[in-house]
């Protein structure tokens, strides 16, 4: 298709991925493209990607979305991080926040000074030096011109898709209702020509965006792009989502509670709570998982639990011929660090940056695929870290993940931190040093050594510097309103009062 003008873009599938793609393309390239989205009301979406990371704010800003309007439409709350419970040991709790830990220098990170202070018998908890972490612990929040918190959202993914659909249709995106019966390809090149609907209609296009979920109707069933299975590192393969009535104020963090064969999420929205159980069915049956979840949730259930089966991994090519896969069609890394919506967003942005206006070329596809591979591999390693660093030996599942081999890239990071407290963010990686640091220490990875720059300061001076920083953060948190109170004021109404 090199040399063929690409103007007609067809998005196969709606949901969060489809409408994020349609909204972004129509917002930024709409005058150059003819965009059609095909979806069926009879095909449900997974709809459980309800927790985000701060890149979601950037994406919304790029779309020109008013935050208050967005939060009202999606019943969103604010998120400052994730509370991990029972991961390294039973009874452990730590927060992976979105904040910066302390003040680092060009020579070494702040945590090296903190480690030196701790060795001298003072310094307290590392979390005392992170504004977002302490605000999350205190259930405090504010945003605005004078607020500096780094945050993300908890949102209703179905409502988010509906919100973006409204934006997209106003921007000229054409929606076609119906199921796809088959995919028509060029007999010589194998490029996709059209989607053939059950009605018999043909939806023709120059570029196709596959947002058909796990089945990958275009990228896999049609183009046979292949799939790399990462179950050897991420063995969970099942999830049971469940929505419940809110029974208390919304907290500004996601809860990730480890259980005997995986973990449970709890995500507070304005009008309800999203819950779910992630597990490996080699160690827990579907019936056991459902019963366990029903016994753990707070509040009345609003739906019947259902089992979602998945295989962690990534598509070997997310751009193949004239098809680009986004969302679940491109791969899936379990939702532990809330990266699903981010992966959709970054895929859409890269597609716009590398858009094949004059035809799909192997070079463009290869560049896109390399960038996407780097992105998802970094996320994979970060999530595997949580499992590998466990000290739990109370169940077969935890013994399995504790003892499993890990990718060489992650093994190197673990040894680097264990030997000298060195953490880094490689070029193109999503998670920053502060994220690696919080999870490594939270999972009880204790460094044997650290940079000795802290010894350049007399102990009393180091103690005062840490005390001042801790005190400033504590006073700033005290000035913040309660998270629930801020939401009530910010969106202009109170939703879902406790029964």
CA dihedral 220, 428, 111, 398 (to 10 degrees): 10
| C-alpha to C-alpha distance for 122 and 454, rounded to whole angstroms | 13
Q: Mapped to the 3 state alphabet, what secondary structure does 281-326 carry?
A: CCCCCHHHHHHHHHHHCCCCECCCCCCEECCCEEECCCEECCEEEC
Identify the helix (H) or strand (E) that includes residue 96. strand 93-97
Nearest to 168 by CA among 366, 33, 319: 33
| C-alpha to C-alpha distance for 32 and 29, rounded to whole angstroms | 6
Q: What is the DSSP string of 107-126?
A: SS-HHHHHHHHHHTT----G
| C-alpha to C-alpha distance for 111 and 118, rounded to whole angstroms | 10
Handedness of CA 437, 441, 445, 451 (dihedral sign): positive
Strands 192-197 and 202-204 turn out to be antiparallel
CA distances to 10, 172, 330, 433 from 22, in Å: 9, 10, 17, 33
Tally of CB atoms within 10 A around 364: 17
- Per-residue burial over 428-458, b = 16 or more CB atoms within 10 Å of its CB, e = otherwise: ebbbebbbbbbbbbbbebebeebbeebeeee
- Evaluate whether 48 touches 274 at the Cβ level (below 8 Å): yes
Tokens of 456: 């350049």
Could you give phi then psi for residue 366, rounded to 5 degrees? -65, -40
**Pick the catalytic residue: 7, 8, 79, 224?**
79
Residue 79 designated active-site: yes
Tokens of 359: 């035809």
| C-alpha to C-alpha distance for 251 and 265, rounded to whole angstroms | 13
Local structure of residue 481 (DSSP, 8 states)? P
CA distances to 243, 259, 403 from 228, in Å: 32, 27, 22
CA distances to 150, 230, 452 from 146, in Å: 12, 44, 36
Q: Crossing angle of helices 67-74/483-491, nearest 10°?
A: 100
Tokens of 244: 């419940």
Catalytic positions are 79
């Amino acid at each position: 298709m090199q040399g063929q003008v690409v103007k007609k873009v067809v998005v196969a599938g709606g949901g969060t991925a489809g409408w994020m793609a349609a909204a972004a393309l129509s917002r930024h390239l709409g005058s150059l493209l003819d965009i059609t989205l095909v979806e069926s009301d009879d095909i449900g979406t997974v709809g459980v990607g309800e927790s985000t990371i701060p890149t979601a704010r950037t994406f919304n800003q790029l779309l020109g979305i008013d935050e208050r309007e967005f939060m009202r439409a999606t019943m969103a709350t604010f998120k400052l991080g994730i509370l991990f419970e029972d991961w390294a040991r039973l009874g452990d709790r730590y927060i992976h926040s979105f904040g910066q830990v302390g003040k680092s220098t060009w020579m070494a990170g702040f945590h090296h000074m903190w480690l030196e202070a701790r060795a001298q018998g003072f310094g307290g908890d590392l979390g005392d030096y992170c504004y977002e972490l302490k605000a999350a612990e205190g259930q405090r929040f504010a945003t605005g011109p004078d607020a500096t918190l780094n945050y993300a959202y908890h949102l209703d993914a179905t409502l988010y898709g509906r919100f973006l659909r409204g934006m997209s249709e106003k921007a000229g995106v054409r929606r076609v209702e119906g199921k796809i019966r088959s995919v028509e390809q060029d007999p010589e090149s194998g490029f996709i020509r059209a989607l053939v609907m059950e009605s018999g209609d043909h939806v023709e296009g120059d570029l196709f965006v596959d947002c058909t979920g796990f089945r990958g109707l275009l990228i896999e069933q049609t183009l046979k792009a292949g799939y790399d299975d990462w179950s050897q590192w991420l063995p969970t393969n099942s999830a049971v989502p469940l929505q419940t009535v809110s029974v208390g104020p919304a907290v500004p963090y996601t809860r990730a509670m480890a259980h005997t064969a995986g973990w449970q999420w709890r995500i507070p929205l304005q009008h309800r709570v999203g819950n779910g159980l992630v597990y490996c069915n080699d160690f827990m049956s579907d019936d056991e998982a459902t019963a366990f979840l029903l016994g753990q949730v707070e509040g009345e259930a609003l739906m019947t639990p259902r089992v979602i089966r998945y295989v962690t991994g990534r598509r070997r090519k997310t751009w193949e011929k004239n098809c680009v896969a986004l969302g679940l069609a491109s791969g899936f890394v379990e939702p532990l660090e809330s990266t699903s919506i981010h992966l959709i967003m970054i895929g859409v942005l890269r597609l716009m940056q590398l858009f094949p206006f004059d035809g799909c070329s192997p070079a463009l596809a290869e560049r896109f695929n390399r960038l996407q591979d780097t992105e998802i591999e970094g996320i994979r390693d970060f999530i595997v870290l949580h499992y590998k660093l466990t000290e739990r030996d109370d169940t077969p599942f935890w013994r399995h993940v504790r003892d499993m081999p890990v990718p060489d890239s992650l093994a190197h990071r673990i040894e680097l931190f264990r030997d000298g407290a060195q953490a880094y963010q490689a070029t193109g990686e999503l998670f920053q040093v502060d994220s690696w640091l919080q999870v490594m220490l939270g999972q009880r990875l204790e460094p044997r050594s650290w940079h000795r720059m802290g010894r350049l300061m007399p102990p009393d001076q180091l103690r005062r510097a840490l005390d001042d920083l801790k005190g400033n953060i504590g006073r700033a948190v005290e000035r913040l309103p309660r998270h629930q109170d801020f939401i009530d004021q910010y969106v202009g109404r109170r939703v879902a009062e406790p029964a």
